[in-house]
Structure 1
Amino acid sequence: MSTTTKPILIIYAHPYSGSFNHAVLETIKQNLTRQKQAYTVIDLYQDQFNPVYDTEELRLFHTGQTHDPLVTKYLALLKSAGEIIFVTPIWWNALPAMLKGFIDKVMKEGEDLTHTVTKTGVKGCLTNLKQAYVFTTSTSPTLYFKLMSGNSIQKIFINKTLKQLGIKKAKWINFGGITNSTVQQRQKFLSRCNQLQFTH
């Protein structure tokens, strides 16, 4: 059984329930249930989250306030979790706009929120999140993505964004070449997801 006392928060960013990303999500949920680990899922598309800033939301940003009730809900879930799991495709060598918008809108400035801004840069306040797991799928093979396509997930999202938010440990697991993958290759990846121990 996991020693984690706080629930794990899963951020899921794919619109199609028949996708391989959804199969990854369901496998992770089954794994967590088997480990007797409490979890909550934020399904951004199912929630119909609006990732676009409007004028009022932008005006409220530096006060740490919002007029979007989903942002308030998501912030509370972030602050109460012990670990975080992202399940997302890689589209055009980067995060989907939906997930990028989640980062843009939900990561509010404030000591009791997600980060503060100091003279030396951003100081993360999500130190309650001891570990992040980033599950992705990509059309490009993983090695090609890492060496030829900029490796934005590791270099930007994990090494910069998550660390700036106070999440110091992260594990990235990608299923590359998904378009031309075989059933056996997909089953092998799902088996890997099912065997992973989620604990900090």
Structure 2
Amino acid sequence: MRVLVVYCHPVPDSFCAAIRDSAVEVLKARGWEVRLLDLYAENFNPVMSCDERRSYNGSAPQDPALKPHFDHLAWTQAILFIYPTWWYGLPAMLKGWLDRVWAADVAFRLPAGKGRIKSLMTHVTRLGVITTCGAPTWWSVVVGQPGRKTILRGMRALCATRCRTFFLAHYLMDSSTPKTRAAFLGRVRRTLERF
């Protein structure tokens, strides 16, 4: 199985980095081919230009910096997103990656006329999210968990019909302890052993 780990956090020694390292370790131990995409380390530009937006519905963006990202999407069979939840959603860097990389002729094809959108991501059979969140679980649910819905509903709609998904969140991250973080890493490992 080929998995793309999309990692998004600006602090190199964050708890999200520990999650990333544990995840990659477990996946490799299972014999999976792993590609790690660290958006901050590569200084990914999340800003869509005016020209890019004007041609968005017609064809893939022509920015050569996006070509390796398109190749990653074509290669992968599973995608694991690891990021912090900020203001109940995705970090701007990750949202910009989705905006610019999951593009026409890469992730989907728009119909000419009134037909249905055609997915180009049906080779993706697994989709996972591991995140940290400062809010408690109950408040995240009240707010509607927009980050979770963006990926596990919106992006999943372009994946294989029976795409398997999971969502793990370490809530109350701002008041976490070494014990809660260790327990969460254990949960990450157990989940990825079944992913």
TM-score by length of 1: 0.87
Residue 164 of structure 2 is matched in structure 1 by 169
Give per-residue Cα distances to partners, 1:107-155, cap 9 Å, x unaligned: 1112xx2112243653322111101010111000123211x21221333
Give the CA deviation at 1:61.
2.2
Indicate if the aligned counterparts of 1:123 and 1:164 stay in contact, CA closer than 8 A: no
Indicate if the aligned counterparts of 1:10 and 1:41 stay in contact, CA closer than 8 A: yes
Q: Distance in 2 between matches of 1:57 and 1:155?
A: 25
Give per-residue Cα distances to partners, 1:59-116, cap 9 Å, x unaligned: 4423423232231111111111110000011111111110110010011112xx2112
Q: Distance in 2 between matches of 1:170 and 1:120?
A: 28
Q: Indicate which of 153, 157, 176 corresponds to 2:151.
A: 157
Q: Distance in 1 between matches of 2:61 and 2:168?
A: 33
Amino acid at match of 2:108: H
Indicate if the aligned counterparts of 1:124 and 1:163 stay in contact, CA closer than 8 A: no
Amino acid at match of 1:151: Q
Q: Indicate which of 1, 7, 12 corresponds to 1:12.
A: 7
Aligned residues: 191
Indicate if the aligned counterparts of 2:23 and 2:192 stay in contact, CA closer than 8 A: no
Q: Indicate which of 95, 101, 105 corresponds to 1:100.
A: 95
Q: Distance in 2 between matches of 1:54 and 1:175?
A: 34
User: Do structure 1's residue 190 and structure 2's residue 185 form an aligned pair?
Assistant: yes
Cα pair distance change 1:141/1:165, threshold 3 Å = same
Cα pair distance change 1:120/1:93, threshold 3 Å = farther
RMSD over aligned Cα atoms: 1.8
Indicate if the aligned counterparts of 1:51 and 1:105 stay in contact, CA closer than 8 A: yes
Q: Distance in 2 between matches of 1:136 and 1:108?
A: 24
Name structure 2 gaps, 5 residues minimum.
Answer: none
Cα pair distance change 1:109/1:144, threshold 3 Å = same
Indicate if the aligned counterparts of 2:76 and 2:124 stay in contact, CA closer than 8 A: yes
Indicate if the aligned counterparts of 1:122 and 1:164 stay in contact, CA closer than 8 A: no
Give the CA deviation at 1:183.
0.6
